[in-house]
């Protein structure tokens, strides 16, 4: 049986790859035995400003709330 999954990933772009660079990196990874063939369907970006290790998105206890603030809506994992 073959399954398809929607996977939402948060990427902090420290290297300045930009949207297309991130898409290219994610889609061009070669997994062992070709077990996955990811295809990026959409990308939404927000400006975090100057990076600081104390940013809420970098905190285990604050990152979920900050993610919701930055991108809106509830996390599907929590809705299930």
Domains of the chain, by residue range, sit at 19-79
Give the per-residue pLDDT at 26.
Answer: 93
Query: DSSP label at 65?
Result: H
- pLDDT by 10-residue block (mean), the chain, 80 residues: 83 94 93 87 92 94 94 60
What is the rounded CA–CA span in Å between residue 80 and residue 76?
6
Give the per-residue pLDDT at 74.
Answer: 54
Its pTM stands at 0.71
What is the rounded CA–CA span in Å between residue 76 and residue 42?
16
Give the per-residue pLDDT at 80.
Answer: 46
Give the per-residue pLDDT at 73.
Answer: 66
Measured at the CA of 63, the angle between CA 61 and CA 43, to 5 degrees, comes to 165
């Amino acid at each position: 049986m073959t399954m398809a999954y929607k996977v939402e990933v948060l990427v902090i772009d420290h290297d300045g790859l930009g949207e297309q660079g991130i898409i290219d990196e994610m889609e061009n990874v070669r997994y062992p035995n070709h077990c996955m063939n990811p295809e990026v369907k959409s990308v939404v970006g927000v400006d975090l400003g100057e990076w600081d290790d104390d940013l809420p998105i970098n905190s285990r206890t604050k990152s979920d709330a900050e993610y919701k603030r930055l991108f809106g809506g509830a996390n599907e994992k929590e809705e299930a």
